[in-house]
Amino acid sequence: MRDSKLGMGMSAGGGTRREKWIRRNLPTVADLRERARRRIPGFAFEYADCGVGLDLNVRANRSALDAVELVPRCGNDREDISTEVALFGRRYAAPLGIAPMGLPSMIWPGGELALGKAAQRARIPYTVGCVGGCSIERLGEAAPDVLWFQLYRVARDDHKVGIDLIKRAKQAGAHVLVLTLDVPTRSKRPREMRNRLAVPFQPGPRTIYEVATSPAWLMALVRNGQPDFVNMGPYAGSGRGAIADFVTRELGGSFTWDEVKRYRDVWKGPLVVKGVLHPDDARRAVAAGVDGIQVSNHGGRQFEAAPAAIDVLPAIAEAVGDKATILFDSGVRSGIDVLRALALGAQAALAGRPFLYALAALGDEGADYVIDLLIEEIRTALRQAGLRSAGEAGSLTVRHPAALQF
């Protein structure tokens, strides 16, 4: 087991009393979520947890993943299971990455840096969001070997800001550029609205009460300051709320294929498009010159009528073949979910909320804890399935009743 700050693989029996307490009481991502709910202000929890509309698409992701059955093989058992994978020419410790997220520091102040350091220690990809709360330069120092960078469309001045951001990301050491294609417009998330989510915070009786009754979160806020979209600082002008205003005003629309080609020309490293749900779009992306396709419905946060991402994965994997790397996200909560995605054609799975729940539940050390927990679950899942390495997952027999045919 690697030497993390908490140093606790799920299988390890030793450790301090606190470590034992954590292992006993928080053995799954669902347990982390429940503790997160009680430990941070309601507006922060709702921001992380909610989906678009009535959360139908969040539930669709869960039930579709649950319905995927894998037939285990026997007679081949070995102890030295390898979870390692190669993605875009680099080796990572597991087929698991951290998906891009705007403002993890809203859920746990300082969360971006904690995730970056933990991903570096664990050697798994960390996709930093362009609207994250920590600068790409600082994260480049914290996570030099595992950093990926995600960009939303900022079209003003002929994409001057977007192009500058990817140059900064390159300079900071980001290896992969991820263009998000599934946010043509802001989605309506009633749970955020009801909880008066705002950046910067709008102090009102309810917000003040929620913050005051979340002392660990408040202390982290005092240490790290108010979350803001700091990468946009150089372009936004000064004054309270200037950066948030800039983000509201200037970020928007979804990249067209011509724009993807343009970024392809500027970005010389591996390029991924995220949010693809139709095999024809995957083919278009390959024709535009991308290296990877991230099959995703944004964790159920954008289009409520979209299919569960896992249900379109096999058709996209088949359409793309070996012309691009297939990544998957949306609903991954366990090592078994990662194995389901690999068995259906992905080379790696990414997750979003599990990392936020862990930060909220345990503070900075939660990042190490949940990475260890998930990698250990992946190792167990591979062994249970009768596989020796993550790369063999495609050989499993799968029952996938809701797979979409196009």
Q: Which of 159, 175, 278, 298 is catalytic?
A: 298
Nearer to ligand FMN, 285 or 387 (CB): 285
| 162 scored as a contact of ligand FMN (CB under 6 A) | no
Distances (CA, A) of 275 to 306, 357, 384: 11, 22, 31
> Of residues 272, 351, 362, 375, which one binds ligand FMN by CB under 6 A?
351
Contacts for 359 with CB less than 8 Å, ≥ 6 apart: 36, 104, 107, 108, 111, 114, 115, 366, 367
- Taking CB under 6 A as the binding criterion, the range among 198-206, 277-285, 345-353, 358-366 that sits at the site for ligand FMN is 345-353
Show contacts with ligand FMN in window 38-97 (CB under 6 A): 47-48
Mask for 272-311, x = binds ligand FMN (CB under 6 A): --x---------------------x-xx-x----------
| 159 scored as a contact of ligand FMN (CB under 6 A) | no
Residue 82 three-state SS? strand
| 330 scored as a contact of ligand FMN (CB under 6 A) | yes
- Taking CB under 6 A as the binding criterion, the range among 77-85, 135-143, 233-241, 327-335 that sits at the site for ligand FMN is 327-335
Say which DSSP state 179 is in: E
**Reduced DSSP (H G I as helix, E B as strand, rest coil) percent helix, strand, coil of the chain, to 5:** 50, 15, 40
Structure-token pair, residue 108:
């746990």
> Of residues 120, 180, 207, 224, which one binds ligand FMN by CB under 6 A?
180
Show contacts with ligand FMN in window 219-278 (CB under 6 A): 274
> Of residues 105, 150, 195, 224, which one binds ligand FMN by CB under 6 A?
150
Contacts for 95 with CB less than 8 Å, ≥ 6 apart: 83, 85, 338, 342, 346, 347, 348, 349, 378, 390
Q: Go through 113-136 and write b for each residue having 16 or more CB atoms within 10 A of its CB, e for each that does not.
A: bbbbbbbbbbbbbbbbbbbbbbbb
Contact yes or no for 96/378 (Cβ under 8 A): yes
Rounded to an integer, what distance in angstroms lies between the CA atom of residue 126 and that of residue 54?
29
CA-nearest of 298, 252, 259 to 277 is 298
> Of residues 112, 250, 329, 364, which one binds ligand FMN by CB under 6 A?
329
Residue 394 three-state SS? helix
Nearer to ligand FMN, 109 or 386 (CB): 109
| 102 scored as a contact of ligand FMN (CB under 6 A) | yes
Catalytic residue status for 278: no
Nearer to ligand FMN, 121 or 189 (CB): 189
Residues that bind ligand FMN (CB under 6 A): 47-48, 99-102, 129, 131, 150, 180, 274, 296, 298-299, 301, 329-332, 351-353
| Residues taking part in catalysis | 298
